[in-house]
Amino acid sequence: MEKTTMTDTCTYVIFGATGNLSRVKLMPALYRLEVAGRLSDTTRILLLGRRPWDREQTISEVREWVNAKARGRLDEVVFKRFSQRLDYFKGDLTGQEMYPRLKSHLTDSSAFPENIAFYMAISPAEFGVVIERLNDVTLLEEGHSWRRVVIEKPFGYDLESAQALQRRIGRHLREDQIYRIDHYLGKGTVQNVLVFRFANTMMEPLWNRNYIDHIQITHSETLGVGSRAHFYDNAGAMRDMIQSHLLQLMTLVTMEPPVSMEAESLRDEKVKVLKSVRPISHNAVHAYAFRAQYGEGMIGNEKVSGYLQEENIPADSVTETYAALKLYIDNWRWRGIPIYLRTGKRLAETQSQVSICFRHPPQQFFRDTQVERIKQNWVLLGIQPCECLRVEMTVKEPGLEMRTRQSSLDANLRETEDIQTDAYEELLLDVIDGDRSLFLRYDEVEYAWRVVDPILQRWSMERDFIHTYPAGSWGPEESRFLFEKEKHRWRHGLDPEKG
């Protein structure tokens, strides 16, 4: 196989390597990088976990994980080459005795490259202790080689805990060594927001409060909480999706053009957006945020349980599985334009979409004609499952009379012959390459928490009641009370009839 540009050589050490994230995402993504020829010949992968595996069992387990994602199309030649990179290290990550052994394992032979990326596929509560103990045995020290640490979300549980975690790990790591991963930003279509905005000059003059009426960003799922019940009940939809993924997507949609695609320039502009979000006071929470919880209903032809009937969910839980939020960005470009974010589980469809609604054109031009009230133009950016761009416009119907209808310009952002990649593939490569543009800087995390923290504090005090919605619906009708104007409505998918 002909190889394309390869990355620097390194050792990927995966903490929590026998867990769900490693099985479902990390190891399949690393294997696909092998298929694409993107890993250096000497790159090694050290899986670290508590299970009493040897190297042979590790390779056998990884083969099953990779094969499950390959849907039976595993390339045996490529996997054999991939398996030669794999090693296993047994240890309890909370125990001090493991870390001197880990250091010896990594440094006493030339088998492992000196550049090391530590991937924390573990509980957020364990980030601090693992980093401290890596530091105690000098595994975070850099000389002529680099050390990088990848941290999965959530980074903190609220503003205060995020600040405490940053202080703790900041004692041992420089900011440029920390890679706070948000896999949502690795999706190709999310990055296409930047290309759409800044590589097409025809949209930039319209991308402001003078022409745009409002913006909607939606992430919906048909799935329930499943095996994540314990985590989810302590997090909820606001923390799980809006504070991280959707606020990040909002910054890409609304930020000013950065001076370059260089990481710090990009992140500087994102932080400016978050700093400009109008604060929500404690007393105004209900005018800006709405929460609800799914009840029994139908998903497709299957009857599903409500949230309170899910396994490991307390009977008196008021954790939200649906959250909607109205924000204003008080800067020159966006002042006065409402931005609506919403996410929910057990909704009618699984989709992620950015919907830009433009203002009505002046109506007097069509006075004394048969044209009814002209519908607004929309620009829709589908992120998943349909990766596409749609521009909805008004056109004249064929015939002698002056009547109009909606038409759309559609562009599929993925051709059938395009190579499909997972978000983790690009992000894993970026860690090796030292490209931090799609990772979160600490001030991004902190200002995102500042946006939602007043809401979470108010909700934590309101334990007696939460709205509900039937599974398989588009959520509670009451969430419409967030809309700034009576004519505003939630946009469900690409089809205008679903709105």
Residue of 243, 443, 457 whose CA lies nearest to 341: 243
**In the chain, how long is the greatest CA-to-CA distance?**
86
183 is catalytic: no
Query: How many Cβ atoms are within 10 Å of 405's Cβ, its own excluded?
Result: 10
297 sits in which H/E element: strand 297-299
* Coil/strand/helix, residue 374: coil
Q: Which of 183, 219, 245, 492 is catalytic?
A: 245
Q: Which residue has the tokens 């706070």?
A: 180
Report the C-alpha gap between 467 and 290 in whole angstroms. Answer: 9
Q: Which among 443, 455, 159 is positioned nearest to 273, based on CA atoms?
A: 443
Give CA angle at 454 (453, 455), nearest 5°. Answer: 90
Query: Tokens standing for 82?
Result: 């991939």
Give me the residue label for tokens 């202790």.
129
Cα-to-chain-centroid distance, residue 291: 20
Q: In DSSP terms, which residues pair with 116 in a beta bridge? A: 11, 147
What is the SS3 assignment for 88? strand
Partnered with residue 118 across adjacent β-strands are 13, 149
Calpha distance 35→73 (Å, rounded):
12
Name the residues annotated as catalytic. Answer: 245
